[in-house]
A and B are shown apart, each in its own frame.
Chain A
Amino acid sequence: MDESGIGFWGVPLAIFAGAIRVSTPFIFVSLGETITERSGRINLGLEGTLVFGAMSAYAVTVLTSSPWLGVLAAMATGAVFGLVHGWICKFPKVNDIAIGIAMMQFGLGLAFFLGKPFIQPAAPKLPSILLGGWSGIPQVQAALNINVLFFIGASLAVFLFWAFKNTRIGLTLRVVGDSTDAARAMGLSPDTVRLLATAVGSSLAAVGGAYLSLYYPGSWNEGISSGQGLMAVALVIFARWNPIGCFLAALLFGGAGALGPALQSVGVTQGYYLFYAAPYVLTLIILIITSSPTRSLAGAPGVLSLTK
């Protein structure tokens, strides 16, 4: 063992660091989708929103040199996508899943189209917090160089967990999500609640995109997302609509994703495709173990079209 590398300790460190680095987009998209799905709508198109958010955040940052303005721009564009989805889906017989898929196509197309001029220029990155000053090991310092958005995402998960149970808005969301008729009887407007829930959810998903383009990997091009938006929507079901669950699922997914490169870096080089499939295999196995035919819908909003 030479002093420059950290050998097999690199694998757990990479999983830890990878969990933090890679998970943030999953956290934001899955929290956003949780809000939307709790209201009884599903927005499968967040992949498009994520990519459009990545593009708009990068573009605004290039133009203004302020990454936080970029994040705000992403939130605004995300909200617009959400409003469109929410408005269209309030009409009878419109299928929210199908609209989501179409919106994904539209979002990707528009992002690629408008994003062309921003592929070449470099943009300043979002700041991160150095928490590893206590360690003399540069690898640990690098792993503990954590972006602000990660902490915002983590706090948001805790806040949403609390808010769903203890606030009026949380209660409203759940009532609307569990029964349209009950909500109407209580004098709530399910369409309005769902419209806002989709807009907020979409806006959060776009922040996930901003993290991709403004921090990690920190660049804008057409291959910036490899399906994170779609996968994060799936993680919501995995997490059973629980915000803390979303946060943990995102960490698990990010950490497992770091396994493949980390193992290769310590010389475990055979069959890397199979290591790269680890996050998906792991998620599937956990799903199979934790599901059961009798309580498959535990935690699921009652009117959600995906779980009927």
Chain B
Amino acid sequence: MTVQANDPGLSISAGSGTRIRPLLEWFARRAEAVAIGLVAILIGLALFSLFILVIGKSPVTLFQLMYTGGFGSWFSVQNSLSRAAPLLLTALCVALPARLGLVIIGGEGAVVLGGVAAAAAAMPLLGLVPPAVLFVFMGLAAMVIGGLWIGLAGFLRHYRGVNETISSLLLAYIAIALMNQFVEGPLRDPASLNKPSTRPLPAEYMMGDIPGMDVHWGLIIGILACILSWILMEATSYGFAARIAGGNVRAAQIQGLPVGKLITGFTAIAGSFAGLAGMVEVAAVQGSANASLAAGYGYTGILVAFLARHNPLAIIPVAILLGGIDASGGLIQRRMGLPDATVLVLQGTLFIVILFCETFYGRFRIFDPDLWKRSA
């Protein structure tokens, strides 16, 4: 499958000056991920088409509908973006610890407790502070609780040797129980009849939509969080130290890196992002904390993070792709009479193929930066 370096088609760059070589090198590095990703998506769609043919429906209609429902109009694009917003933050909850070699699967717990904390923090402040200040307090409360929750998994990992995958999952179940206890017990608004919830935020205290769009502010918050995380990982000494610790804990310790603090700190930051997702759900969507906070965003975030190869910037397109598939799912149900599970099958097929295609990284010499470094 490798491409020969002396392929005439590849030697166009020869002699075209040394200026563009670094650019080509940079491009080759990134083009690999994009090209492999796109080919993987095409293969995944082809396999899924076979499935649709077998059950006697038309893949062409299905893909047309997916395009219409996911990205075919401004309404559909906004639909996809709205669904992507919470995933940006919950994916970070997986991606950041993953760079340290930790597998955190309990982000859902930080989401629900973050939502409860945000709602609780808002109650005494309503009417006393302007909305912007309120959001800061709500966000802080959510981030602190989310950070503590996932940070605890990181802390236990380093200082007690408790596996973080299992502890974060256990903590997620415990968090959901606590959330239910709070919203049906001490924090319940007696007026929330058949859907136990905390006291709703008044309309003037809702976060609202991005101006000119029908998407709430969670999208901007999520994108900013991804960019900040990328800077943290790639451009700071903390990120550098974390990546070393992720590569080899012992080597990091020998170099004198504070591995325990790095692990606890990065898991706490990760958890605070998931907590923030809970706050956004309360402040921008639900208006109160209730059982709908446990909508599975934490679990979908795991998938987003792994597809994005734990790169915070790559999370953005992956989350939007997932949001688009999700958004088009409804249209497929309605127009083709297919069950909701169709989208799950599609997602599963796509993700298996995309993840499988990881194996092709480094196999095609066309993407080898060295190829472009050397003069052909």
Contact = CB atoms under 8 A, between A and B. Distances in A.
Interface stretch (B25-33, B71-79, B177-185, B215-223): B177-185
B349 interface: yes
Given A107-B348, A281-B174, A295 B306 contact: no
A109 B156 CA distance: 34
A288 B162 contact: yes
Interface in B315-368: 339-349, 351-352, 355-356, 358-359, 361-362
Given A281-B174, A293-B160, A106 B345 contact: yes
Contacts of B307: 98
A56 to B, nearest CB: 15
A238 B162 CA distance: 9
Contact of B355 (A99, A231, A294): A99
B355 A95 contact: yes
B103 A94 contact: no
B101 A308 contact: yes
Contacts of B156: 288, 291
B348 A295 contact: no
A35 B62 CA distance: 40
Given A102-B352, A106-B349, A93 B361 contact: yes
B115 to A, nearest CB: 16
B170 interface: yes
Contacts of A93: 358-359, 361-362
Contacts of A4: none
Contacts of B347: 105-106, 109
Contacts of A158: none
Most chain-A Cβ atoms within 10 A of its Cβ — which of B159, B162, B302, B361?
Answer: B162
B355 A98 contact: yes
Most chain-A Cβ atoms within 10 A of its Cβ — which of B174, B180, B306, B344?
Answer: B344
A113 B103 contact: no
B344 A112 contact: yes
B348 A110 contact: yes
Contacts of A284: 167, 170-171, 174
A48 B356 CA distance: 18
B21 interface: no
Nearest to A278: B177
B358 A95 contact: yes
Given A110-B348, A237-B165, A105 B174 contact: no
B39 to A, nearest CB: 15
A118 to B, nearest CB: 13
A307 to B, nearest CB: 7
B345 A293 contact: no
Contact of A91 (B171, B348, B359): B359
A240 B280 CA distance: 39
B161 interface: yes
A131 interface: no
Interface in B129-173: 156, 158-163, 165-167, 169-171, 173
B160 A113 contact: no
Given A91-B356, A238-B166, A102 B303 contact: yes
Contacts of A97: 103, 306
Most chain-B Cβ atoms within 10 A of its Cβ — which of A95, A109, A237, A291?
Answer: A109
A103 to B, nearest CB: 6
A288 B160 contact: yes
A47 to B, nearest CB: 10
A95 B306 contact: yes
Contact of B352 (A106, A274, A288, A294): A106
B101 A231 contact: no
Given A113-B341, A277-B177, A293 B159 contact: yes
25 contacts: A44-B105, A48-B348, A93-B361, A99-B355, A99-B356, A102-B348, A105-B351, A109-B345, A110-B344, A113-B339, A113-B342, A113-B344, A113-B345, A227-B173, A280-B173, A281-B170, A287-B162, A288-B160, A291-B163, A293-B158, A293-B159, A293-B161, A306-B163, A307-B163, A308-B101
Q: List the 10 shortest-distance A-B pairs measured between CB atoms, nearest first.
A: A106-B348, A109-B344, A296-B161, A112-B341, A277-B177, A102-B351, A98-B306, A109-B345, A91-B359, A234-B166
Interface of B: 101, 103, 105, 156, 158-163, 165-167, 169-171, 173-174, 177-178, 180-181, 184-185, 302-303, 306-307, 339-349, 351-352, 355-356, 358-359, 361-362
Interface of A: 44, 48, 84, 88, 91-95, 97-99, 101-113, 116, 222, 227, 230-231, 234-235, 237-238, 271, 273-274, 276-277, 280-281, 283-284, 287-288, 291-296, 306-308
